[in-house]
Amino acid sequence: MGLFNTKLKYIVDQDFYIRMGEKYSFYCSNDIVSKWRLHPNQATVTMSYVAYKETFYIFLKYFFKGDVDIKTKIKMFFNLTKRTIREIVNTITIH
């Protein structure tokens, strides 16, 4: 399965979880097991374009693979679509 992809800066966990999902089954729970805070100066906000490019990279890397199930592909498609819309809105807002 390998380690985290060190070429990625912001979505390393997404790549790692997809690779885990290719080999193992996951259990989903509604229990809260971790939390994080959001603030306007965090890197995922200020460097959103880098995160968007990484999301696009992950999409291309896994979407067309035969061993990725359709549910994962649908989630990847909607994640990329959401990030694309966010980037368009950020570009319009900034300029």
Q: Which tens digits make up the pLDDT trace of 66-80?
A: 878 888 888 889 988
Three-state DSSP at 76 gives helix
Mean pLDDT by 10 residues, the chain (95 residues): 84 85 83 81 76 88 84 87 86 71
Q: What is the pLDDT of residue 26?
A: 80
44 and 10 Cβ atoms separated by less than 8 Å: yes
Q: What is the pLDDT of residue 9?
A: 86
